[in-house]
Amino acid sequence: MSDVISQYFFQFALDKPTNLADMTIPHGIKLIRNQDNAVIAIEVNTSGTEVEARGVANGRLKRFLALLSLYHNQQINAKCQGCRRIGPDGKEEIFIELVASISSSVSISASGKPSADLTRSFNSTDPKFWRQVAHFQKGTASANPVERYREFYQVLEDEAVQINLMEKALRHAKIVCSDKV
């Protein structure tokens, strides 16, 4: 790919099909669905040089996936599958990137969820909001109950006017396993 300012459409394949409730999504992001109406990929539209466009697309996708994961209370992941570029001359080129197999029959269900508008959250520049989303994601993704508590508590701690020192000590505690009962 060249260093010319071009329009790029990066396609990111989800690790499993995702059924989404009705939601308003940010401009420049398109959901690609399968025959069952589950989202199987996300296309991010950017422009610039290849390096700039790739950086912007990755950043926008990470923010969008963070919001989807938060909304569904389950980690949602994706990998870049490829992109197409439309150069200043209007010529279109397609580039394919190899990724691991992403077949799965399991879907994340959003039935009964109210319609959501993700554009306001997606466009947030509040570092506290994105820090809380990151801690929530880490807590959701962790299998370790201590790590889960630590991450979820940090979200609550960020909201607190006054920090509870007993709970903060628990957040920093380590569990020591013993064979003796």
pLDDT tens readout for residues 28-58: 999 998 888 888 899 999 999 888 988 898 8
Mean pLDDT over 77-94 rounds to 86
Position 97 confidence tier, pLDDT thresholds 50, 70, 90 = low
In this structure, the chain runs to a length of 181
Q: Which carries the bigger pLDDT value, residue 151 or residue 105?
A: 151
pTM above 0.75, yes or no: no
What pLDDT, on a 0 to 100 scale, did the predictor assign at position 172? Answer: 65
CA dihedral 102, 104, 106, 111 (to 10 degrees): 50
What pLDDT, on a 0 to 100 scale, did the predictor assign at position 43? Answer: 93
Laid out side by side, the sheet with 92-96 consists of: 29-33, 39-48, 6-18, 78-86, 92-96
